[in-house]
Amino acid sequence: MKVLFELRHDKQDKAGTVPVYVSAYFDGLRLRCSTKERCEPRQWNEREQEFRRSFPGYQAANDGLEALERRLEDRYRELRAMNVAPTVALMREAVNPAAVVVKEEPLLVVRFAAFREVLHGRGYAFHTLRHYKTAENHLTAFLAKTRRKALVLADYTLAVHDEFVGYLRACGLSANGVYTVLKDLKTFLRHAQDERELRLGLDLKRLEVRYTDQAKTYLTGADLAALVAAKLPATLEPARDVFLFCCYTGLRYSDVAALHAGNVYALGANGDGDRVLRLVQTKTRATVSIYLSRMAAEILDRYATAERQFEGARLLPVLANQPLNRYLKKAAQLAGLTRKVEVINSVGGQITKTAVPLHELVTMHTARHTFAVQSLLRGMPVTVLQRVMGHAKIQNTMRYAQVVEELQHQAMRAAWDGPTTAPTTTLATDSAVCNVLAA
């Protein structure tokens, strides 16, 4: 096969340039077509069949002609090797190869957003999806700050991950706040690798995500009695009652805020017996059944008989979470819950310990911790507590068993001082709290 380049002087344009054509002779056939290059006749070396130095970009243009010649020769040999007779049409494909569409790799944050949509389609709870959105927001902010907005999945290496961890800590997140973000990120990466069969830039086995057990804030029986007995302004009483109701039932804020009459069931044959709450938890979608103790039932009845009507026929006057937590801190302070509690933080790898008044740590989630600890102190089996709280794994419930210090004290007292006839306890009994309520 012979390949020649020539000018087509019969196709000169108004600017005086003519097209450069390629002619390939093979097996008695001739392929002749344009190379898409043009030049003035004086810029072409006819003997060498290449552009002169006077042609702008002559070197790149000549390299292009050489590459075209190689493509034609390679195409001819390829067809021969496949026992296919070369034709003009088949050889023309080497001159103008079909455009190869390279699919652009989606950005890392785009894949994360798509992953959240997958979870939404699979029926994940709203609050779970919100956690993943938080992780995505942190990742997006990190990539923007480090000028990595165009980062793709395969470029997220262990070195980049270490930078991300440092960024999260610098943002002031707690140890478990960092854990939550990294746990959600690892779930996304595992989904991309296992379910979408995408290549990662790191080994997931080397991506360690550890939860740090931290002391949970909860109220003792004496704290509960003090909160019940406290004389509060009328503006704080509803917040106090909602909090106490959760202390007696273990409900999360999201569940107590959504309670309605359809969640209350009477156990008696005529509807006049003890009552229970039956509901599907907002966070976990677990179905739970919770017995209403005398204290919880009294709070419910107090608002059931009130003239006040709550939005959406809610059973209790639940405010938005943030203002409710502010009211709770004030109510706890007025109730005298000012004893110091040790708070441990890790900043820059250094552990700091500070003494903080208990009332500053009280939030709606403190009520759930209080219910768990007080239930264990009152002798509720861990397996029963697991069902009431809706935990999928008993390990989650056992975290509360680890903080029941009173049981530890009683065991140590028995081991070192021997059994006592009247073991002391700071636990307030139902009757004690009920007497305070009645007063």
Looking at residue 255, which CATH number applies to its domain? 1.10.443.10
DSSP at 413: H
Looking at the structure, do residues 292 and 359 belong to the same domain, yes or no? yes
Q: Last residue of a domain, which of 66, 95, 124? A: 95
pLDDT-based confidence at 307, cuts 50/70/90? very low
pLDDT above 90 covers a percentage of the chain that reads: 50
Tell me if 103 is assigned to some domain. no
Instruction: Supply the pLDDT for residue 184.
Output: 94
pLDDT-based confidence at 212, cuts 50/70/90? low
Q: Which of 42-56, 112-126, 325-339, 399-413 shows the lowest mean pLDDT across its residues?
A: 399-413
Tell me if 213 is assigned to some domain. no
Judged against a pLDDT cut of 60, whether residue 428 lies above it is answered with no
Judged against a pLDDT cut of 70, whether residue 90 lies above it is answered with yes
**pLDDT, tens only, 9-60:** 999 999 999 999 999 999 989 999 999 899 999 999 999 999 999 999 999 9
Beta-carbon-side half-sphere exposure of residue 227 (alpha carbons within 13 Å): 33
Tell me if 238 is assigned to some domain. yes
Residue 53: domain span: 2-95
Q: Where are the alpha helices (DSSP H) in 277-427?
A: 294-304, 321-334, 358-361, 364-377, 382-389, 394-401, 405-416
Matching residue, tokens 């002169």: 52
Looking at the structure, do residues 161 and 259 belong to the same domain, yes or no? no
Tell me if 215 is assigned to some domain. no
Q: Which of 287-291, 352-356, 362-366 shows the lowest mean pLDDT across its residues?
A: 352-356
Looking at the structure, do residues 294 and 431 belong to the same domain, yes or no? yes
Q: What is the C-alpha to C-alpha distance for residues 271 and 266, in angstroms, rounded to an integer?
A: 5
Q: What is the C-alpha to C-alpha distance for residues 59 and 52, in angstroms, rounded to an integer?
A: 9
Side chain identity at 230, as an amino acid letter? A
Instruction: Supply the pLDDT for residue 217.
Output: 85
Judged against a pLDDT cut of 50, whether residue 116 lies above it is answered with yes
Q: Last residue of a domain, which of 206, 237, 263? A: 206
Average pLDDT, the chain: 85
pLDDT-based confidence at 244, cuts 50/70/90? very high
Tell me if 100 is assigned to some domain. no
Instruction: Supply the pLDDT for residue 177.
Output: 84
Judged against a pLDDT cut of 70, whether residue 403 lies above it is answered with no
Query: Residue 265 — φ and ψ, nearest 5°?
Result: -130, 140
Q: Last residue of a domain, which of 95, 120, 139? A: 95
Looking at the structure, do residues 283 and 258 belong to the same domain, yes or no? yes
Query: Residue 275 — φ and ψ, nearest 5°?
Result: -120, 155
Matching residue, tokens 């569409």: 101
Tokens of 310: 């709550």
Phi-psi region of 285 (alpha: psi -120 to 50; beta: other; left: phi over 0): left
Which CATH number do you get for residue 171? 1.10.150
Q: What is the mean pLDDT of residues 409-427?
A: 64
Domain count, the chain: 3
Looking at the structure, do residues 82 and 112 belong to the same domain, yes or no? no
Tell me if 143 is assigned to some domain. yes
- Most trustworthy range by pLDDT among 61-65, 123-127, 176-180, 285-289: 61-65
Query: Residue 343 — φ and ψ, nearest 5°?
Result: -120, 130
Judged against a pLDDT cut of 80, whether residue 356 lies above it is answered with yes
Beta-carbon-side half-sphere exposure of residue 67 (alpha carbons within 13 Å): 9
Judged against a pLDDT cut of 50, whether residue 167 lies above it is answered with yes
- Most trustworthy range by pLDDT among 239-248, 277-286, 297-306, 379-388: 239-248
- Residues in the chain, how many? 439
Measured at the CA of 408, the angle between CA 340 and CA 392, to 5 degrees, comes to 90
Looking at the structure, do residues 232 and 115 belong to the same domain, yes or no? no
Looking at the structure, do residues 271 and 398 belong to the same domain, yes or no? yes
Looking at the structure, do residues 119 and 245 belong to the same domain, yes or no? no
Tell me if 212 is assigned to some domain. no
DSSP at 192: I
Q: Do the Cβ atoms of 39 and 18 come closer than 8 Å?
A: yes
Q: What is the mean pLDDT of residues 343-367?
A: 81
pTM of the model: 0.59
The SS3 assignment for 136 reads helix
The β-bridge partners of 31 are 24
pLDDT-based confidence at 378, cuts 50/70/90? confident
Tell me if 244 is assigned to some domain. yes
Instruction: Supply the pLDDT for residue 405.
Output: 67
Q: What is the mean pLDDT of residues 63-68?
A: 92
Q: What is the mean pLDDT of residues 194-210?
A: 87
Q: What is the C-alpha to C-alpha distance for residues 389 and 288, in angstroms, rounded to an integer?
A: 7
Looking at the structure, do residues 45 and 125 belong to the same domain, yes or no? no
Looking at the structure, do residues 361 and 382 belong to the same domain, yes or no? yes
Q: What is the C-alpha to C-alpha distance for residues 37 and 353, in angstroms, rounded to an integer?
A: 75
Tokens of 2: 């012979």
Matching residue, tokens 């087509």: 8
Instruction: Supply the pLDDT for residue 417.
Output: 83
Q: What is the C-alpha to C-alpha distance for residues 213 and 260, in angstroms, rounded to an integer?
A: 35
pLDDT above 70 covers a percentage of the chain that reads: 87
Looking at the structure, do residues 187 and 232 belong to the same domain, yes or no? no
**pLDDT, tens only, 252-273:** 998 999 898 889 988 866 656 7
Which H/E stretch holds residue 222?
Answer: helix 221-229
Q: What is the C-alpha to C-alpha distance for residues 25 and 31, in angstroms, rounded to an integer?
A: 7
Q: Do the Cβ atoms of 1 and 13 come closer than 8 Å?
A: no
Which residue has better confidence, 28 or 175? 28
Looking at the structure, do residues 21 and 168 belong to the same domain, yes or no? no
Instruction: Supply the pLDDT for residue 435.
Output: 33
Q: What is the mean pLDDT of residues 184-207?
A: 91
> For residue 307, with 0-12 CB atoms within 10 Å meaning exposed, 13-18 middle and 19 or more buried, which class applies?
exposed
Report helix angle 237-249 to 321-334, nearest 10: 100
